[in-house]
A and B are shown apart, each in its own frame.
Chain A
């Protein structure tokens, strides 16, 4: 009797384990039919403006392709790449993913479909610099892994009305460092925050300011930060650090910057009409459209960078080539549909919708540019573009660099020499 009970119990355990294994095995593939379901993961889909634009772009595609259903999933921005890595590592990822064109996605390069052969027919519609940024080897003619959705860069916006309130002529040439400093001093005296910056959590304010300054100090040689030919001990980097630090020591940067997140608190403060200068983006968010819509295009000024006497170059525009794009996962079962979907995203009605609704610069050469502020920004990006500093860095070191930004610029706990020494050491460890 006891033996029967024991056997019965073991059979029961076996059945439970089998059931668990079967359920853990995941869903079975549905039977073959004409309908294609494309799953897209995105870290911007939950944003009000960008999300609604992407939704409408999906609707346009599904209307034109009734056999395609797009399941567009909003993923959290903060740990997006960890989620991606886990999904792709376990083979459970989507068909299409959004990604930044930096080391964070190139760490997962092996999961991405090479797009070179798929984009051959329409490659010329998109700028070469955008393709280069979308290539895992930074070459515009090979190893293309992303379809670029935005062309991204960094620059300096200013509120002319506030400058005028402080007694500054808004038509002055603020690209001159001394003129810029003088304007900041007048604004400080007038009780207006000279530079609105957000460094709470992650010091993006410092990061973006650096990228604009270093554009003039290094120019095209910024690529040297990807292979060790440029160093943090260079005179150029030291001088850029010194002048950026000046903004903090002279208290030109808004007092609350250390705990104010860049996204979205600092952006909203500048949009609300506070402050003189803001280190922003050229595309996507914190850009010409955000600020122009907020306090008027007539009030909005733009500079690509500040010209320092010790900088090798002048008026250089930090240009990532592409800011964000979409990649197709290698083991997707709907590759042709996925590539076609991405092609439509950056052409025609969809691309125009994205540009006009969000202000993001879509790197399609054929898109009309009707806004003057946008034309000014695009002009700098096309004619004065140099590589972006931060995207050259190893992902691990890039994150660590933020810790040193905090110590030197925000907490003011280390000297310039200590800062340079520590960053160089960490840089070399991660090369």
Chain B
């Protein structure tokens, strides 16, 4: 008994020793920067040199900064597109799963935005949607008058929606399809057979069999989508709209970079980062709560 207890303790200490290098790296590259960020948010600091303690001055400034409120509003719009960003790849995956002719080809084409990456996508669409770009030329050929006056990325009311459609929906299409296809492969086909026998149509099978069977995968994709919107949009916005027109596509993340690295107001940018941290933590806590409730119901 004692020997067994000693063996278990031995295994545990071995586990910690094996984890030690990773834990050290996490402390140095994740824990320390996060804690340092909290500290620097209470200072005026250029990102180098000596910081000056200013207390909550940066936070008071944030709430009077129009850019901050614009970025919250934009994040709200982007988040509203997440359900579409989940539903469309789910639907396409369900269609592809049925064995559409040439589905291997479609699968490759749909995955292209994922392969290209945000920088290339942003640059590509800034050219496609420009006033002298291929879209304008196409509209001219179709006889649309003053086609070169159309500037979807140049008007606040359209720019944020274009960004949302491209980033939240289009760029995730490929990965989402592949991900949901993989999830669907674990669904027992007898469920579909049973549903068909009961007279269920395609949509009924989709909502009653497919969706419930892969609900955990959908929840994970939802979490991923939120993370992408809150913390992965910088390169896309930089290349597509640079936060404009005005602040129509300005996000918290973009603001952090602009103020920290371009304006050398790292202390102020850190206060924005703390607020972003709080948002992400609340979302993560909410989602963990939902997941737990889902597990309890099962």
Residues of A within 8 A of B (CB): 2, 6, 9-10, 13, 16-17, 79, 81-82, 85, 88-89, 107-108, 110, 200-202, 255-256, 258-260, 395-396, 399-400, 402-404, 406-407, 410-411, 413-414, 422, 425-426, 429
Contact = CB atoms under 8 A, between A and B. Distances in A.
24 contacts: A6-B14, A17-B24, A79-B261, A82-B262, A85-B46, A88-B48, A107-B264, A108-B48, A258-B131, A258-B154, A259-B130, A259-B133, A259-B151, A395-B262, A395-B264, A399-B258, A402-B244, A403-B243, A411-B154, A411-B156, A411-B246, A413-B156, A414-B246, A426-B66
B155 A413 contact: yes
B247 interface: yes
B295 interface: no
A64 B263 CA distance: 40
A260 B132 contact: yes
Contacts of A406: 154, 244-246
Given A107-B264, A400-B67, A256 B148 contact: yes
A143 B214 CA distance: 67
Interface in B3-44: 10, 14, 17, 20-21, 24
Interface string B225-266: 000000000000000001111110010000000110111110
Contacts of A13: 17, 20-21
B154 A410 contact: yes
A256 B262 CA distance: 28
Interface string B258-283: 11011111000000000000000000
Q: 8 closest Cβ contacts across the A-B interface? A: A396-B263, A89-B48, A407-B246, A259-B130, A256-B131, A406-B245, A107-B264, A411-B245
Give the interface centre of A88, A402, A404, A406 by most chain B CB atoms within 10 Å.
A406
B263 A399 contact: yes
Contacts of A429: 61, 64-65
Nearest to B241: A201
A255 B148 contact: yes
Interface string B161-196: 000000000000000000000000000000000000
A192 to B, nearest CB: 16
Given A107-B46, A395-B263, A259 B131 contact: yes
B153 interface: yes
Contacts of A256: 130-132, 148
Contacts of A255: 131, 148-149
B114 to A, nearest CB: 25
B47 interface: yes
Nearest to B261: A82
B157 to A, nearest CB: 8
B259 A396 contact: yes
A426 B66 CA distance: 9
Nearest to B70: A403
B17 A201 contact: no
A256 B130 CA distance: 8
Contacts of B20: 13
Nearest to A394: B263
Nearest to B136: A256
Nearest to B263: A396
Nearest to B65: A429
A16 B263 contact: no
A413 B244 CA distance: 12
Contacts of A201: 126, 242
Contacts of B17: 6, 9-10, 13
Contacts of A259: 126, 129-133, 151, 153-154
A426 B156 CA distance: 19
Nearest to A255: B148
A200 B24 CA distance: 46
Contacts of A422: 66
B262 to A, nearest CB: 6
Contacts of A79: 261
Q: Identify which of B14, B247, B262 gathers the most chain A CB atoms within 10 Å of its CB.
A: B262
Contact of B244 (A81, A403, A426): A403
B99 interface: no
Nearest to B257: A82
Interface string B61-89: 10011110000000000000000000000
Contact of B264 (A9, A85, A202, A426): A85
Contacts of B66: 422, 425-426
B49 interface: yes
Given A256-B132, A429-B61, 5 more contacts: A79-B261, A110-B49, A396-B262, A396-B263, A400-B67
Given A107-B264, A258-B151, A259-B151, A410 B21 contact: no
A406 B243 CA distance: 11
Nearest to A400: B67
A67 B67 CA distance: 53
Nearest to B127: A259
Given A6-B17, A258-B154, A85 B47 contact: yes
A141 to B, nearest CB: 26
Contacts of A407: 156, 245-246
A17 B21 contact: yes
A368 B10 CA distance: 84
| Listed residue (B64, B129, B259, B264) with the most chain A CB atoms within 10 angstroms of its CB | B264
A173 B39 CA distance: 60
Contacts of B155: 411, 413
B236 to A, nearest CB: 14
Contacts of A413: 155-156, 245-246
